[in-house]
Amino acid sequence: MMELDSVKLERALQLFAGIVGEEHVWRGEAARCAYKDAMPPRDPMSYAPQGAVAPASVEEVQAIVRIAAELGVPLWPISRGKNFGYGGSAPRIAGVVMLDLIRMNRILDVNAELGYALVEPGVGFDDLYHYLVDNGIPLWLSAPAHTWGSVMGNALERGVGSTPYGEHASKVCGLEIVTGTGELLRTGMGAMENSDTWQLFPYGFGPSWDRAFMQSNFGIVTKMGIWLMPEPEHTLTLTMNLERIEDLPAGIDALRPLKLDGTVQANPSFGNVVRSLAMRTPRSAYYKGTGPMPADILEQARRDAGVGHWKFDIRLFGNKRVNQVNAERVREAFASSVPYDFVESEWNRGEPLRNSGSPLPSLAALGVVDWLGGPGGHLTFSPVSVFSGSEAWKQYSIIRGMYEDAGFDYYGGFTAGQRYLNHINMIVFNSDDEEMIVRANRLFRNLIETAARNGWGEYRTHTLYYDEVAQSYGYNNGALRRWNEAVKDAVDPHGIIAPGKMGIWPRSYREARS
């Protein structure tokens, strides 16, 4: 891997300090410690950065990029750095300077009538939630399991939430980007001076580029439009526990037509028993042995906790009468498929938001990393599955078997898109147990290879596994990867923005490697 020249690095940091102030530049150990992967599957210092700079404005980002381009100093942009399980605030390689955008935290616009927000990278889900509530704006955000992270960062990484707007990438409308040469670019209708439809019409004129800046290193996104859901007048939640492992396919097949025709617009997630138990208490409450929990002990733990082998919520949002009609359709579909009843609850506008389906600020989900007693590390493996019970079952059976052969509990679930399932599963390990970490990494590499052989691609992965996953998208001798790198060389000619992100390496790195 290419080293960063220390003289050049110091020169860059001095110039960056002239732009943002010395107090927003960090060097050496301070930078390495601040931006290390907090839940690492490898020695975190082996891929910690050599410096960091935190600008507060677009103009400062442009000035930093121009200097970085001139000196050939690579930058690794992050928004808030809370993408735990996928690398957190850490870069792919050590030889970079972090471009920390957390100080750019303005909510620039919220339009209650048209249902959108325009935000900077540092705006967290908590920030946007409080802004909407404090100002009495009748819009709901969609958020992932924990709300510490960036609204923009999560959407650009194609994160998922649990409202009808839960496929966050699909709700992005209009980006502002600083290019690898320090130019400022706006996508879609933002390319027109004084356009008033930047956050309304996502396509613009000619090629649409928003999606090219998601999970990519083609530019640094400094503003993002995101659609927000009008507050519903009513929500109706149907919760079901499937008591047998083998009930999963029937549950998935019952849900598919309801997702496809729009009866269910949110993204229900079938979470397995370990996922349910880990939210409550560490594993030692049930089992103190090593290796995966024996089936009889897991079954007893499940019964004691009153959870299913699979648990899911189907939440309906909108008009009360429509929700009641759709709920009846949901009940009918599942009654003919599985022998369980839904537990139901309702929320009406004006009532406290708890249990409404509006994501409330919470970090509770982080608690699951303590499943093995901690300190908790985790690697998240996230292949996409066909929305079919038999295909999901095949994927689950193979992957669960691999977890257990490697000595881990299978922790995971299937989150429903409209035509696909995100099979998000997690290897939880203790980050101070070297033997366990070796096993976790071996399992992760085997999962990528096995998935690729079966035609299952990951929708997202840890920074350290970008290359392996990108390689699995190898159709026609890696045509897509070669295309991505051709674009990279064209739009970032100095190769300074996030080298190696998603397996996309600038020309200089490819040449050094070969």
Catalytic residue set: 86, 459-460
If we measure between CA atoms, which residue out of 166, 314, 147 comes closest to residue 228?
A: 166
Nearer to other proteins, 31 or 67 (CB): 31
Between 36 and 158, name the residue whose CB sits nearer to other proteins: 36
The nearest distance, CB 83 to other proteins, in angstroms, is 11
Residue placing its CB nearer to other proteins in the complex, 181 or 362: 362
Strand residues in 273-405 grouped as ranges (E): 310-318, 343-348, 376-381, 384-386
Dihedral through CA 440, CA 442, CA 447, CA 450, nearest 10?
-160
DSSP notation for 111-168: ETTTTEEEE-TT-BHHHHHHHHHHTT--EE----SSSSSBHHHHHHTT-B-SSTT-BG
Give me the DSSP letters along 303-333.
Answer: HHHT--SEEEEEEEEE-HHHHHHHHHHHHHH
DSSP 181: T
Nearer to other proteins, 159 or 188 (CB): 159
Q: Torsions phi, psi of 314, nearest 5?
A: -110, 115
Which of 313, 81, 75, 303 has the alpha carbon at shortest distance from 182?
A: 75
- Judge whether 377 and 40 are in contact, CB under 8 Å: yes
Query: What DSSP element (H or E) covers 441?
Result: helix 434-453
- Of 139, 131, 355, 111, give the one whose Cα is nearest residue 232: 139
Q: Which residues bind other proteins (CB under 8 A)?
A: 24, 26, 30, 33-36, 38-39, 52, 54, 80-82, 84, 88-89, 100, 102-103, 126, 148, 282, 361-364, 366-367, 369-370, 374-376
Taking only Cα atoms into account, the Rg of the chain, rounded to an integer number of angstroms, comes to 23
At its nearest, how many Å lie between other proteins and the CB of residue 102?
Answer: 5
User: Distance between CA 452 and CA 5 in Å, rounded?
Assistant: 38
Q: How far is the CB of 100 from other proteins (least distance, A)?
A: 5
Query: Please, which residue, 132 or 255, has the CB nearer to other proteins?
Result: 132
In the three-class reduction of DSSP (H, G, I as helix; E, B as strand; rest coil), residue 194 is classed as coil
Nearest to 164 by CA among 139, 142, 145: 142
Closest separation between CB of residue 229 and other proteins, Å? 24
Nearest to 200 by CA among 171, 157, 160, 166: 171
Q: Are 315 and 266 in contact (CB under 8 A)?
A: yes
- Cβ proximity to other proteins, 49 vs 271, nearer residue: 49
Instruction: Give 282 or 417: the residue with its C-beta nearer to other proteins.
Output: 282
